Amino acid sequence: ENTPSAGFSAASPERFYAPVIQGDEFGPQSVNVADQQVDPASLWNRIRRMIELRKAYPLFAERGFHWVDAFGAELAVFWRTHGARRVLIANNLSPEAQKLGIPVDESGTALDLFSEARSPLSAGKLWTIKLEPYEYRWFEFIPDDMDE
């Protein structure tokens, strides 16, 4: 969509908060709503999926927030909880791939909320997660004794 707003706004350009980025790489001809909507890997679709998950998981609106402190400044890892439901959020803030190990206190399944891949987890073992540079992953932990 080669409009002054790239499809992100219906306002006239003089009412934009800031000028739209121009140029071949990031201008409206390259980054626009129409192209983002049809690309399943686009930022637009990723944010859309995050909003869907936020609405589907009430725990994101609750107070249950617990940092996992075993990692350095390169990783921001925390649990969101509500009742028996738990979601682990793992964020790699660095330009290097990172590997983390989360202690598992009860057997269950890790459900990747973006890919929907499932990984079995065993009590007493480490749950190993690899994150590419600047990658983030959200996992729901489903205990073996919990009905989905």
Contact by Cβ (8 Å): 80, 62: yes
Q: Where are the alpha helices (DSSP H) in the chain?
A: 33-38, 43-56
| Predicted local distance difference test score (pLDDT) of residue 147 | 54
Q: 12 or 90: whose pLDDT is higher?
A: 90
Contact by Cβ (8 Å): 140, 121: no
Residue 148 has pLDDT above 90, yes or no: no
| Predicted local distance difference test score (pLDDT) of residue 8 | 85
| Predicted local distance difference test score (pLDDT) of residue 30 | 85
Over residues 16-20, the mean pLDDT reads: 89
Contact by Cβ (8 Å): 134, 98: no
| Predicted local distance difference test score (pLDDT) of residue 101 | 92
pTM of the model: 0.79
Summarised one tens digit per residue, pLDDT across range 50-97 is 999 999 988 888 888 999 987 788 999 999 998 888 999 999 999 999
Structure tokens at 47: 């944010």
Distance of CA 115 to the CA centre of its chain: 11
Summarised one tens digit per residue, pLDDT across range 89-125 is 999 999 999 999 999 999 999 999 999 999 999 999 9
